[in-house]
Structure 1
Amino acid sequence: MLTGRPKTSLELSAEEEAELRCFSSSRSLPHALVARAKLVLWSAEGKTNTEIASQLKWTKATVGKWRQRFIERRLSGLYDELRPGRPRSVSDEKVALLLRRTLKNKPPAGSHWSVRQAADSNGLSKSTVHRVFRAFAVQPHRSKNFKLSSDPFFIEKVRDVVGLYLNPPDHAIVLSVDEKSQIQALDRTQPVLPMGLGYVEGVTHDYVRHGTTTLFAALDIASGTVLTECKARHRHQEFLAFLKRIDQAVPAGLEVHLIVDNYATHKHANVRLWLAQRPRFHIHYTPTYSSWLNQVERWFGLITQQAIRRGSFRSVKHLIDRIDHFVQHYNRNCRPFAWTATADSILQKLARLCSRISGTAH
């Protein structure tokens, strides 16, 4: 059998292997150096150039080049050679030190680094720090929110709800139900300045409060239509009245699957009794702290962005009229949300987040 030209043997000393493993797990060294360290480790383990090229998404020629460079020059061969032009003023070590300090430490009197603070602390220019941050996608000025569910039946509930989205039952309607409470009827203290050529819409920063309303909504995941009702409060009595309206709106021959969160109103004894007396109703609770799993929350985001947040309302009745007008127009042109996430993909993403939190991610 033809096997091609034999490769030069690659063996590592204990010190080289320890250094390469440190490089390969680093989150502050240049990505190219990290990838070359992995290449050498995999090659020492006996992997072929073809296998390594597939994992790194490189060509076999590139893998062979860096493998040979390491054999000839050892660790120093993994670094880029000097190129024509003005010599670099910032070494790889300085870049690595900047990234390590930014990722591992806090500024002396603050919660996060600014470009100016990082530049002063590391003896670099602001433009250099900005280029390094941009090259490595380091954004100390930004943060994102997360909340892990503490529900002991998280996995079962995720599979239950996602199963309804991806494979809804026959002869049934699946409704994503929730309420958006305390929507304020805010009226600006001065008239809104309309948008024009060269300038944006102008609104005053202060406003007058005229009261609040609660919007109950049931989103049909198959058609995208929304059934809504505004009420003054959001106790179990109002939720029960909304369930009765759903019962009237859904044809008698269909089963009704309701996806709701764990708000106490949805679990009140009177609500449970009413549901128990109607066998065609089946209620599915999302896991705690998992409102993102309820599709109607996305619709609440749409109506907030398009009709409520920038609105100016003279009274609660005016606010409710605007909400009803939006809903009527939305239902005439509605489309269902395209849910693509499987239960397994959600659980895998959660596992990655837990790994990062525990500090075991590489």
Structure 2
Amino acid sequence: MKYKVYLTGEQRQQLLDIVRKGSSSARAIRRAHTLLMASEGKTDKTISSTLHISIPTIERTRKQFCTESLETTLKERPRSGKPPKLTSTAEAYLIATTCSNPPSGYGRWTLKMLADRLVSLEVVDAVSESTVFRTLKKNELKPWLKQQWCIPKVSSEFVSKMEDVLDLYAQPIDLGHPLICFDEKLCPLIEDVHHSIPPAPKTQDKPGKKEKIDYEYERNGTCNLFAFFAPYLGWRHIKVTQRRTKVDFAYCMKELVDIHFSNSEVIRLVMDNLNTHTIAALYEVFEPVEARRIAKKLEIHHTPKHGSWLNMVESELSVLVRQCLSRRIPDVETLEKEVSTWECDSEALLQADRNLKKICIDWRFRTEDARNKLSKIYPTHQN
């Protein structure tokens, strides 16, 4: 054998890393295997049958390693063939066009529109939609996708309310001063016009079938869900109401104070800035003495505007929607029954019994984290 492979300890370790990690190209991994087996005295025939490559390929790999270097052996050489259909300039035009607003009358750029635009700008003579797609994929651009995002207004008010809520979450559990997160959610009432067809399992003669739900449905209006959540105690309660007025809010606060946490001294309540979420709502519904009695047991902390992610009950409502409400519910009575079962059903002992399992939230985002990760939303300090 004219070209014998001898590896140093460092070269062997480098090849073993390439083989074990598997992050290199397939050709580089095959060449690493070839060199390792050749250094162990394996014949070209054995290497060929093991790696399923030709003997001339093995000979070229050994020759390149012995006459050049390990790096050039593993590296891909330039290949001959047709030049790329899009030059770097044309690719830059395509990326810039994709990131711009679509023409009037269109909601987004399509592959055909992008290809036609490059031709109309005389950047290229012709280009296919598949070439446009491959170029966008290479640059990780997807003009057909949009992501909604809420960018809070930079202000001292946002920061002050955010840090107030975060400091509250960092306090230890105190049964005399329980932490309760409160929010509400609109729930549509939708009834099936036709019964659904249940799923069918696979048989020897027929494949399995999915459940079929008719597209036609009947709207029965909407209702409201008030959500109470004690994230560190593993307790939650969903109250179904027809509306979400100040009157409904006031009775929710009375229920929270007199029924759910009647033995607590003060309830630390986190909620958003909806116009009905005020102490004034208590005075519009109850006598002043009663309103003041309820108000004295509430310590309210408002989340900042566009800062609903700070309210831990949002996570619980998301679970409620996924586990219970992601279907058609025809009326309030059915909704109340289903929500009550989701909360806690001691007879059924379902997996989703949130209260029986006392499922809590491990909130780890602290004020120090906000000052580091969200430093851009903090106002500039003025001396």
- Residue in structure 2 matched with residue 177 of structure 1 by the alignment: 182
Letter in 2 for 1:195: P
- The answer to whether residue 261 in structure 2 is matched with residue 250 in structure 1 is yes
Equivalent positions of 1:125-144 (< 5 A) are: 125-144=128-147
Equivalent positions of 1:167-316 (< 5 A) are: 167-168=171-172, 170=174, 171-181=176-186, 183-197=187-201, 198-247=208-257, 248-250=259-261, 252-267=263-278, 269-271=280-282, 274=291, 278-313=295-330, 315-316=331-332
Does the 8 Å CA contact 2:173/2:232 hold for their aligned counterparts?
no
Q: What runs of 5+ residues in structure 2 fail to find an aligned partner? A: 1-75, 119-125, 202-207, 345-352, 379-383
Aligned-partner Cα distance in 1 for 2:376–2:143: 21
Structure 1 residue 105, shift from structure 2 partner: 4.6
- Residue in structure 1 matched with residue 71 of structure 2 by the alignment: none
* Deviations 1:141-182 (CA, angstroms, capped at 9, x unpaired): 11122334457510001111122223346453111101223x
Does the 8 Å CA contact 2:279/2:295 hold for their aligned counterparts?
no
- Residue in structure 1 matched with residue 72 of structure 2 by the alignment: none
Aligned-partner Cα distance in 1 for 2:295–2:238: 21
Structure 1 residue 349, shift from structure 2 partner: 6.0
- Work out the percentage of aligned pairs sharing the same amino acid: 24
| Structure whose CA Rg is larger | 2
- Residue in structure 2 matched with residue 331 of structure 1 by the alignment: 355
Match of 1:267, SS?
coil
- Residue in structure 2 matched with residue 83 of structure 1 by the alignment: 78
Structure 1 residue 350, shift from structure 2 partner: 5.7
Does the 8 Å CA contact 2:238/2:339 hold for their aligned counterparts?
no
Letter in 1 for 2:171: N
CA pair 87-111 structure 1, distance change in 2 beyond 3 A = same
Match of 1:245, SS?
helix
Aligned-partner Cα distance in 2 for 1:104–1:232: 45
Q: TM-score, normalised by structure 2?
A: 0.63
- The answer to whether residue 166 in structure 2 is matched with residue 162 in structure 1 is yes
Q: TM-score, normalised by structure 1?
A: 0.66
Does the 8 Å CA contact 1:218/1:228 hold for their aligned counterparts?
yes
Aligned-partner Cα distance in 1 for 2:214–2:83: 51
CA pair 277-219 structure 1, distance change in 2 beyond 3 A = closer
CA pair 199-316 structure 1, distance change in 2 beyond 3 A = same
Q: Using the TM superposition, name which of 88-97 and 282-291 deviates more.
A: 88-97
Letter in 1 for 2:184: E
Equivalent positions of 1:63-82 (< 5 A) are: none
Does the 8 Å CA contact 1:215/1:230 hold for their aligned counterparts?
yes
* Deviations 1:11-67 (CA, angstroms, capped at 9, x unpaired): xxxxxxxxxxxxxxxxxxxxxxxxxxxxxxxxxxxxxxxxxxxxxxxxxxxxxxxxx
Letter in 2 for 1:296: V
CA pair 215-342 structure 1, distance change in 2 beyond 3 A = same
CA pair 312-192 structure 1, distance change in 2 beyond 3 A = farther
* Deviations 1:217-263 (CA, angstroms, capped at 9, x unpaired): 11111033202221222212221211122112225245311001111
Aligned-partner Cα distance in 1 for 2:306–2:231: 21
Structure 1 residue 201, shift from structure 2 partner: 2.4
- Residue in structure 2 matched with residue 322 of structure 1 by the alignment: 338
Q: What runs of 5+ residues in structure 1 fail to find an aligned partner? A: 1-80, 355-362
Letter in 1 for 2:362: A
Q: How many residues align?
A: 273
